Amino acid sequence: MTNNKTTFSLINELALDASAFVENCMAEYRSKVSAVADEIVKDKSKKIIMLAGPSSSGKTTTASMLSAFISESGGRAYTVSLDDFYFPRSVGYPLDENGKPDYECVEALDLQLIHRCFGELQKNGRSRLPVFDFRSGERIDDAKEIILEENDVIIVEGLHALNPAITDNLDSSNLYRIYVSVSSRVYDESGEVLLSKRNLRFVRRMVRDYRFRSTSVERTFEIWESVMRGEDKYLFPFESLADIKINSFHLCEPCVLAKTAIRLLEDVKSEECKEKADAIINKLRLFKDIDYSILPSDSLLREFTG
C-alpha cells in the first residue's frame, strides 16, 4: 500500500486466494451491520430507523441484513422504502432547472402522508402504509398495515431518509439515523486516485441496471449526472446528521465486477459516452478477475450482480 491507502496491487494480491478474499469481505461487512443491529436492539426507545445513502450504496441489502440480525435477537424489523411515498405520476412532480420532472427532490414525495404514517407509528404503534407501483406510476394507499410490538422497529430506507423535511416532524427520541455509502477509494502505486467513490458506485449501478432494469450503459451515463446533482443537493448536506455511518465498499468488488463492466462498456457506441467508457475500462483492466458465482447469496454485491 501507499501511505496506508488501498491500492489495486494490494487488491490483486488478496485476489490470489479468491474464495478467502470474498469470504473475508463478506464477514467484515456482516460484522459492521451486526454491530449496528446490536445498538438498535439494546436501545428499545428507537422504533424508527432512518437509513439513507446515495445511489448504489447498498441500502436495500443493508436494510435486509439489519432486519435479519434484529430478528435473530428476538425482535422484528419491517422494511419500508420512501419510494412508496412518491406522488402518483398523474399528479405530477416539481420541475428541475431544465424544465424536466425532478424525481430526486424531496418534494416528489408526499411529505404530508409520510408525516401522518410515521407519526401514527410513533404514537400508536400502527399505521397503514402505501405501496408505489412503478409500472403503472400509481400509488396504492393503505396497501399494508404495520403494527409495532414491544421489540419491533421499522427500517425506512431512501435517498431522503435523513432530510429534515421528513424527520423534523417526528419525535427525534424514537429515531436512529444511519448513513450507508461507498466511503473508500482505490489508488494507484503513486498514490493517485484510480477509482473514486463515485466511480465505484457507477460501476455497481451500471451492472445492476443492465441486469435488472434492461437499461443500456448509455442511459446510465445519461442519468448519472442527474443522480449526482440530486445527491449533492438533497443528500450530502444531511450526511452529518447520521448517528452512525457504514462504509459499504468491499475490497473484492473491483475484481468481482470488472469482467461484466468491461464487457458492457466495450459495447458503448455513443461518441458522447465512449471516452468516459474507455477511461473506466482502462482502470478496471488492472484488476484480477473473480467470478461473481462464488459470492454468497446474501452478499451485498449480489444486489448488483444478481
Mean pLDDT, residues 244-272 taken together: 96
> In this predicted structure, what is the pLDDT of residue 33?
97
Residues 253, 162, 145, 93, CA torsion sign: negative
CB 86 within 8 A of CB 161: no
> Given the C-alpha cell 468481482, which residue does it identify?
256
Task: State yes or no: pLDDT of 300 exceeds 80.
Answer: yes
Determine the angle formed by the axes of helices 253-266 and 18-42, rounding to 10 degrees: 110
**pLDDT tens digits along 158-170:** 999 999 999 999 9
For 77, 156, 195, 216, 228, the CA distances from 85, given in Å and listed in that order, are: 19, 11, 34, 27, 22
> In this predicted structure, what is the pLDDT of residue 44?
87
Torsional class of 92: left (φ above 0), alpha (ψ -120 to 50), beta (otherwise): left
Task: State yes or no: pLDDT of 1 exceeds 60.
Answer: no
Domain regions of the chain by residue span: 8-301
Domain 8-301 CATH assignment equals 1.10.620.20: no
> In this predicted structure, what is the pLDDT of residue 126?
95
Among the listed ranges 73-77, 111-115, 152-156, 295-299, which one has the minimum average pLDDT value?
73-77
Task: State yes or no: pLDDT of 75 exceeds 90.
Answer: no
Mean pLDDT, residues 233-239 taken together: 95
**What cell was used for 283?**
482502470
Helix (H, G, I), strand (E, B) or coil at 218: helix
Q: What is the mean pLDDT of the chain?
A: 93
**pLDDT tens digits along 81-90:** 999 999 998 8
Task: State yes or no: pLDDT of 111 exceeds 90.
Answer: yes
> In this predicted structure, what is the pLDDT of residue 2?
42
Tell me how crowded residue 203 is: count the other CB atoms within 10 A of its CB.
25
Phi first, then psi: give them for residue 186, nearest 5 degrees: -115, 135
**pLDDT tens digits along 139-156:** 999 999 999 988 899 999
> In this predicted structure, what is the pLDDT of residue 3?
52
Task: State yes or no: pLDDT of 74 exceeds 90.
Answer: no
Task: State yes or no: pLDDT of 157 exceeds 50.
Answer: yes
Cα–Cα distance for residue pair 177/242, rounded to 1 Å: 5
Mean pLDDT, residues 243-267 taken together: 97
Mean pLDDT, residues 262-285 taken together: 94
